Structure 1
Amino acid sequence: MALKNASPWPAAEPGMSAPFQLHREALADIAADPSAIFALLDDHRRLSAHMEKPSLMMAGATMKTELDSQRGQAVGSVIRMKGVVLGVSLYVEEVVTHHEPPFRKTWETRGQPRLLVIGPYRMGFELSPAATDTRVRVWIDYSLPTGLTGRWLGKLLGKVYADWCVTRMARDATNFFNKG
Structure 2
Amino acid sequence: MTYTRSAQTEIEVAASAEALFDYLDDPARLGAHMQKPSAMMLGGRMTYGFDEAQGRAVGSVIRMVGTILGGGLSVEEVVVERQPPHRKVWETRGRPNLLVIGAYRMGFEIAPSGKSSRLLVFIDYDYPSSAAGRIVGAMFGPIYARWCINRMIKDVISAFHES
**TM-score range for the pair, normalised by the shorter chain length:** over 0.9
- Separation in structure 2 between the aligned mates of residue 120 and residue 61 of structure 1, nearest angstrom: 20
Equivalent of residue 63 in structure 2, options 47, 60, 80: 80
| TM-score of the aligned structures, taking structure 2 as reference length | 0.97
3-state secondary structure, aligned to 1:178: coil
- Separation in structure 1 between the aligned mates of residue 59 and residue 15 of structure 2, nearest angstrom: 28
Aligned residue type for 1:19: T
Q: Given that residues 46 and 64 in structure 2 are in contact (C-alpha distance below 8 angstroms), is that contact kept between their aligned partners in structure 1? A: yes
- Alpha-carbon RMSD across the aligned residues, in angstroms, is 1.2
Q: Deviations over 1:88-146 (max 9, x none)?
A: 10000000000000010000000000000000000000001112421110100000101
Q: In the alignment, is residue 68 of structure 1 matched against residue 27 of structure 2? A: no
- Alignment-derived partner of residue 4 in structure 1: none
Aligned residue type for 2:38: S
- Alignment-derived partner of residue 157 in structure 1: 140
- Alignment-derived partner of residue 108 in structure 2: 125
Identity of aligned residues (%): 48
Cα deviation for residue 37 of structure 1 reads: 0.5
Q: In the alignment, is residue 29 of structure 1 matched against residue 12 of structure 2? A: yes
- Structure 1 portions without partners, runs of 5+: 1-17
- Alignment-derived partner of residue 58 in structure 1: 41
- Structure 2 portions without partners, runs of 5+: none
Equivalent of residue 91 in structure 2, options 93, 96, 108: 108
The runs of 4+ residues in structure 1 deviating greater than 6 Å are none
- Alignment-derived partner of residue 8 in structure 1: none
Aligned residue type for 1:150: G
Aligned residue type for 1:107: W
Q: Given that residues 45 and 68 in structure 2 are in contact (C-alpha distance below 8 angstroms), is that contact kept between their aligned partners in structure 1? A: yes
Q: Given that residues 28 and 174 in structure 1 are in contact (C-alpha distance below 8 angstroms), is that contact kept between their aligned partners in structure 2? A: no
| TM-score of the aligned structures, taking structure 1 as reference length | 0.88
Q: Given that residues 16 and 115 in structure 2 are in contact (C-alpha distance below 8 angstroms), is that contact kept between their aligned partners in structure 1? A: no
3-state secondary structure, aligned to 1:25: strand
Q: Deviations over 1:141-160 (max 9, x none)?
A: 00010111100110000000
